[in-house]
């Protein structure tokens, strides 16, 4: 990477650089991927002063004291937003602190993350929401808390939704925990309409899933692993959609994983129900064949499914039935992963590998849309266009080139990545947001 400051040119590798508030920066030969921008798919020089895009042109000659950024095959888009990230703090700081998690997110290309409430204590009140917001005040990556839908995420009593919304919560859901009580979800959907709240309902029927730990199918049978039928997800989604049709309101179904789930949501959208859904990166890329070898990093919720399911999920993203892609970043301590598969905790980190894994199955424009416009619109997050006069909120990346993903590419405290030793495509350079430039 080559930078110039005034007349001095120097090369820097593996750095973490924050731009000064008064610094002027020039991005050279950046290909813009932003459908809302008049410069979409054009390669331009971009001049940024005090965090605002001042000029976009074919060639811009820098003035003195301008920092010049020249990167191989540089592409930029509006900043990426991850709708499901888990950090350990408070309570599980050994997994991931908020500060380190936000740094990992920035280096992985995310200018904003929605943080799940699965901490200790659970984020189910306004004080907990304010704690998370305050911890992220000076980070280049924005933190948006998701409040628990029920008290202590126990699925019994509804949490203080309105108070949390007033303090900054952008949605409400119990992370990876289904709402078994039908009436509770019905009441939540009705109540949240008072303040235009977004309700999340994790798609899993606990009675059908039982104590399964892998997708119920050929591979689980061969490996002697208790199965989780696709039906467990699909029954819950069908129930949620019936309730939504009855109550109205706004429903988001996180991390679907089966072909039938895509079909159910497609049908609901045809009825003009206010429903969206997301899919985790690993469920778009990997199948339950990964279970061979009993690597606990492949133990995730929902489980990895079949190739038929993966194909349907990819097609669902392409045709717009699936609105959002998430890393579903979930750090787990090594002592809970370096154990027998059956007793290992579920979850994989995903921020660092998200783009390069997606880049193996989807085109760049589709990836960008599912990480920017669609999730930001659904979670009511402002989106800046890449245009003159706009605040800079961008992700810098290179969609070309392949590499093997190793622990050297991980910035998270925990190393439980499902993509270790996988060949991925493309490179994230970093972000420019809140007048801070962070590059790898």
What ranges do the domains of the chain cover? 2-77+387-439
Consecutive H or E run containing 215: strand 214-215
Instruction: Provide the angle, in degrees to the nearest 10, between the axes of the packed helices 259-270 and 307-319.
Output: 30
pTM to 2 decimal places? 0.94
pLDDT of residue 65: 87
pLDDT of residue 436: 95
What's CA 214's distance to the chain center, in Å?
A: 23
pLDDT of residue 383: 87
Alpha carbon separation from 360 to 231, 262, 314 (Å, rounded):
28, 21, 11
Q: pLDDT tens digit string along 67-96?
A: 999 999 999 999 999 999 999 999 999 999
Residue whose token pair is 């039935």: 321
> How many Å apart are CA 224 and CA 82, to the nearest integer?
35
Kindly state the tokens that stand for 222.
Answer: 């061969």
Residue 15 clears pLDDT 50, i.e. is over it: no
pLDDT of residue 10: 29
Q: Considering only CA atoms, which of 230, 119, 251 is closest in space to residue 179?
A: 251
Active-site residue identified among 328, 333, 408, 421: 328
Could you give phi then psi for residue 115, rounded to 5 degrees? -100, 130
Average pLDDT of every residue of the chain: 94
Does a cis peptide bond (omega within 30 degrees of 0) precede residue 88?
no
Percent of the chain with pLDDT over 90: 93
> How many Å apart are CA 172 and CA 198, to the nearest integer?
6
Consecutive H or E run containing 404: strand 393-404
Kindly state the tokens that stand for 408.
Answer: 């050297």
- pLDDT (mean) for 120-131: 98
Residue 403 clears pLDDT 80, i.e. is over it: yes
Residue 17 clears pLDDT 80, i.e. is over it: no
pLDDT of residue 12: 33
124 belongs to the catalytic site: no
Which burial class, exposed, middle or buried, applies to 305 when counting CB atoms under 10 A from its CB (0-12, 13-18, 19+)? Answer: buried
- pLDDT (mean) for 47-63: 95
- pLDDT (mean) for 354-371: 98
- Which CATH number fits the domain 2-77+387-439, given the four candidates 2.30.40.10, 3.40.50.300, 2.60.40.1180, 3.40.50.970? 2.30.40.10
Long-range contacts (CB closer than 8 Å, 24 or more residues apart) made by 270-273: 271/245, 273/241, 273/244, 273/245
Model confidence at 375, pLDDT cuts 50, 70, 90, reads very high
pLDDT of residue 64: 85
Model confidence at 5, pLDDT cuts 50, 70, 90, reads very low
Contact 437, 111 (CB under 8 A): no
Residue 22 clears pLDDT 70, i.e. is over it: no
């Amino acid at each position: 990477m080559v930078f110039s400051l005034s007349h001095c040119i120097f090369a820097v590798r593996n750095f973490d650089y924050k731009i000064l508030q008064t610094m002027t920066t020039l991005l050279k030969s950046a290909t813009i991927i932003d459908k809302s921008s008049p410069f979409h798919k054009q390669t331009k020089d971009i001049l940024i002063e005090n965090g605002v895009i001042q000029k976009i042109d074919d060639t811009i000659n820098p003035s003195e004291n301008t920092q010049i950024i020249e990167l191989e095959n540089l592409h930029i888009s509006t900043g990426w937003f991850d709708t499901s990230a888990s950090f350990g703090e408070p309570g599980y700081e050994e997994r991931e602190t908020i500060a380190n998690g936000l740094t990992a997110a920035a280096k992985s290309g995310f200018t904003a993350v929605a943080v799940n409430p699965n901490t200790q204590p659970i984020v189910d009140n306004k004080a907990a929401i304010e704690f998370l917001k305050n911890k992220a005040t000076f980070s280049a990556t924005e933190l948006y808390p998701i409040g628990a839908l029920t008290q202590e995420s126990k699925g019994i009593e509804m949490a203080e939704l309105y108070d949390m919304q007033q303090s900054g919560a952008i949605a409400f859901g119990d992370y990876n925990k289904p709402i078994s009580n039908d009436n509770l979800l019905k009441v939540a959907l009705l109540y949240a309409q008072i303040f235009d709240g977004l309700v999340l309902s994790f798609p899993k029927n606990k009675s059908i899933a039982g104590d399964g730990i892998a997708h119920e199918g050929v591979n689980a049978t061969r490996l002697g692993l208790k199965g989780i039928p696709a039906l467990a997800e699909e029954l819950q989604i069908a129930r949620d959609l019936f309730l939504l049709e009855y109550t109205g309101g706004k429903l988001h179904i996180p991390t679907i994983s089966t072909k039938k789930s895509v079909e159910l949501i497609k049908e609901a959208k045809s009825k003009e129900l206010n429903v969206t859904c997301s899919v985790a990166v690993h469920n778009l890329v990997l199948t339950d064949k990964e279970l061979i070898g009993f690597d606990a990093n492949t133990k995730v919720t929902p489980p990895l499914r079949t190739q038929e399911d993966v194909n349907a999920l990819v097609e669902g993203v392409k045709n717009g039935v699936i609105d959002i892609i998430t890393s579903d970043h979930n750090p787990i301590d090594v002592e809970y992963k370096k154990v027998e598969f059956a007793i290992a905790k579920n979850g994989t980190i995903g921020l660092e590998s998200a783009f390069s894994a997606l880049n193996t199955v989807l085109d760049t424009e589709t990836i960008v849309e599912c990480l920017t416009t669609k999730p930001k619109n659904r979670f009511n997050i402002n989106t800046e266009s890449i245009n003159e006069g706009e605040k800079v909120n961008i992700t810098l990346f290179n969609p070309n080139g392949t590499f093997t993903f190793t622990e050297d590419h991980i910035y998270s405290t925990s190393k439980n990545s499902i993509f270790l030793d996988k060949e991925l495509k493309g490179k994230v350079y970093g972000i420019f947001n809140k007048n801070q430039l962070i590059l790898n």
